[in-house]
Amino acid sequence: MTISLPMNIWKRFVREGTLDENRIEKVIRESWIRSKEYAIDPHRDRGNVLLTKGELFERREHLSWMWEEAEKYVKQLQQLLHQHRMIVLLTDEEGHLLAGDGHPATKAAAEKIRFVPGARWSERDVGTNAIGTALETRQPVYVEGYQHYTVATHPWCCAAAPVRTKTGNVLCVLNVSGPLEQAHPYLLTIVSTMAMSLEERIQRIEPGTVAGFQGVIGNSRAFQQTIEMAEQAALVDHPVCLTGESGTGKELLARYIHDRSTRAREPFVALNCGALSPQLLESELFGYAPGAFTGAQPKGNPGKLRLAHRGTVFLDEVGEMNERMQVALLRFLQEKTIRPLGSSREIHIDARVITATHRSLPERIREGKFREDLFYRLYVLPIELPPLRERLEDLPALVDHLSKELDLPRPLSTAAFRVLQRYGWPGNIRELKNVLLSSSLFSKHETIQEEEVRRILSKGELRKTVETERSRTQAVKRALKESSGNISKAARLLGVSRSTLYRWMKQSETSFRDTVKQ
């Protein structure tokens, strides 16, 4: 804990902009400067209540599990907190106060300055304060008395620590506050220890992962409704039709259903119907006998349906099938048998069918492009996946998961994450994955900055790249060329470890043999 700052030093700065660098800690100096740049009124005597009851409820729901964990530590410190008249608060990654508990008198005092659930206490709102400054610095912060930029919190002492995910992204902030005269010498240590304990819990319970399945991420109400329907579908063996925009994760949800069904120990076989010509789709789905046509494999091809026997076959973009394939699929659904191309033998297949489409099948029926009888065979258990723009509260968990999956070397800054929250995501999770990868690869800072994400989104740099993985391959090539093939130097240029660089090279389809110095 620091020595209290005299009021005249604060007055001199807010009136004249004069800083006494010998008397003011660096973290406070820099925060004061930011506060002045944000044009914060230093004489503001309360915070702003920005959330409606509905918005507060939704944000609370998203982090309710975190507050439940925090309460366990609060109970252990209850005597100490009560003795020093402290309150404990949890905020989201933007500084909105969501939940709290503590000494009744201090809670009453907090209400007078709108230090209450629903209010946002970022630096951009109220200047230097423990919560806002912890979010800006991404580090634990202690602020007391006249170190606060606005008069609202001059009678207070506050300590806050960000709670980070595995990849370093800020998930929330834990704050302990109380009357200045009750300041505890180990207040910062207490809140930092609590935050570290919560981070350790995150390592174990994987927030945002539904029922332990790593690919399906989300705690939002819209997504949870989808998951509930998927879990119900897993209990029966009827056909499932997944609908939703491109990039929403339909194949992942299909795998989720399969893994929870009685067929979980059997194969899951996927086929994109829209990526193949009608002739190739028929041979891939139903298989073919040896020598069935020119260019066929000498041993033939069993086909996806046969490979999925006793398991699940997932047919993506089923709405793209032509009339002939629709008739063939309808026949299989009715008779549970297939006849490979070039063969006269009927083969019985026991496979559950899950289909997916981003098109409106009823509209395709009206256009005469999809069979109504096939529609009713497939559309037994329809499940719609919500677009990412309707489940933005899942962004922290999604970003965390994708960052680990992509092995990104740089986390997002708080400001950069805010940009992601305000974006419309027409490409949904697939686009989010590309944005994270491109932003990380092209970033020149330790954390991905706001302007770097904006540049990726606004200039459409992702759309100029057919595959984002290709961008990484090109970046690796450039780094190896600039370093004359020296792995250590190339890794430093990319801002990653040698092991990560080796892993990227291994994952790439491009050979770097001629580029790397042996």
Q: For residue range 470-485, what is the model confidence (pLDDT) as tens digits? A: 556 777 777 777 777 7
**Would residue 93 count as lying in a domain?**
yes
| Average pLDDT, rounded, for the chain | 85
Residue whose C-alpha is closest to residue 174's, from 152, 186, 189, 156: 189
Per-residue confidence (pLDDT) for residue 48, from 0 to 100: 80
- Is pLDDT of 450 > 50? yes
Per-residue confidence (pLDDT) for residue 222, from 0 to 100: 87
Per-residue confidence (pLDDT) for residue 464, from 0 to 100: 40
pLDDT band at 515 (very low <50, low <70, confident <90, very high): low
Look up residue 301 and give its two tokens: 């091809």
Both 178 and 273 in one domain: the answer is: no
CATH of the domain at 115: 3.30.450.40
- Which carries the bigger pLDDT value, residue 373 or residue 499? 373
pLDDT band at 230 (very low <50, low <70, confident <90, very high): very high
- Is pLDDT of 514 > 60? no
Last residue of a domain, one of 350, 384, 418: 384
Both 159 and 41 in one domain: the answer is: yes
Per-residue confidence (pLDDT) for residue 470, from 0 to 100: 54
Per-residue confidence (pLDDT) for residue 296, from 0 to 100: 64
Query: What 3-state class would DSSP assign to 415?
Result: helix
Residue whose C-alpha is closest to residue 43's, from 130, 145, 158, 152: 152
What CA–CA distance (Å, rounded) separates 105 from 179?
A: 10
**Would residue 514 count as lying in a domain?**
no
Which H/E stretch holds residue 174?
strand 170-179
C-beta of residue 209 within 8 angstroms of C-beta of residue 217: yes
Both 378 and 417 in one domain: the answer is: no
What CA–CA distance (Å, rounded) separates 95 from 118?
A: 10
Distance of CA 260 to the CA centre of its chain: 23
Averaged pLDDT for residues 240-268 = 91
Per-residue confidence (pLDDT) for residue 14, from 0 to 100: 92
Both 90 and 151 in one domain: the answer is: yes
Both 165 and 87 in one domain: the answer is: yes
Both 409 and 328 in one domain: the answer is: no
Domain coverage including residue 479: 390-507
292-306, 349-363, 464-478, range with the lowest pLDDT: 464-478
User: 272-290: per-residue pLDDT in tens?
Assistant: 998 888 888 988 999 988 8
Q: Give this prediction's pTM.
A: 0.52
Averaged pLDDT for residues 209-219 = 54
Averaged pLDDT for residues 330-346 = 92
Both 318 and 183 in one domain: the answer is: no
Look up residue 335 and give its two tokens: 């008779």
C-beta of residue 222 within 8 angstroms of C-beta of residue 384: no
Both 356 and 454 in one domain: the answer is: no
Last residue of a domain, one of 365, 384, 403: 384
Write b or e for each residue in 190-218: b if 16 or more Cβ atoms lie within 10 A of its Cβ, otherwise e: bbbebbebbbebbeeebbbbbeebeebbb
Which residues are within 8 A (CB) of 109 and not within 5 positions of it... i.e. 6 or more apart?
179
pLDDT band at 31 (very low <50, low <70, confident <90, very high): very high
What CA–CA distance (Å, rounded) separates 277 from 80?
A: 71
CATH of the domain at 312: 3.40.50.300
Of all residues in the chain, the percent with pLDDT exceeding 90 is 50
Per-residue confidence (pLDDT) for residue 69, from 0 to 100: 79
Both 413 and 360 in one domain: the answer is: no
**Would residue 513 count as lying in a domain?**
no
Both 326 and 353 in one domain: the answer is: yes
Averaged pLDDT for residues 403-424 = 87
Per-residue confidence (pLDDT) for residue 327, from 0 to 100: 96
What CA–CA distance (Å, rounded) separates 457 from 423?
A: 9
pLDDT band at 56 (very low <50, low <70, confident <90, very high): confident
DSSP state of 301: B
- Is pLDDT of 518 > 50? no
pLDDT band at 192 (very low <50, low <70, confident <90, very high): very high
**Would residue 517 count as lying in a domain?**
no
Averaged pLDDT for residues 417-442 = 89
Amino acid in the structure at residue 49: V
pLDDT band at 205 (very low <50, low <70, confident <90, very high): very low
Per-residue confidence (pLDDT) for residue 291, from 0 to 100: 77
**Would residue 515 count as lying in a domain?**
no
**Would residue 99 count as lying in a domain?**
yes
Per-residue confidence (pLDDT) for residue 500, from 0 to 100: 65
Which residues are within 8 A (CB) of 56 and not within 5 positions of it... i.e. 6 or more apart?
96, 98, 117, 118
**Would residue 56 count as lying in a domain?**
yes
**Would residue 245 count as lying in a domain?**
yes
Count of domains for the chain: 3
Last residue of a domain, one of 331, 359, 384: 384
Per-residue confidence (pLDDT) for residue 497, from 0 to 100: 61
Of all residues in the chain, the percent with pLDDT exceeding 70 is 87
Both 238 and 351 in one domain: the answer is: yes
Averaged pLDDT for residues 213-226 = 76
Averaged pLDDT for residues 208-232 = 72
Per-residue confidence (pLDDT) for residue 167, from 0 to 100: 64
Both 371 and 235 in one domain: the answer is: yes
- Is pLDDT of 162 > 90? yes
What CA–CA distance (Å, rounded) separates 292 from 354?
A: 28
- Is pLDDT of 238 > 90? yes
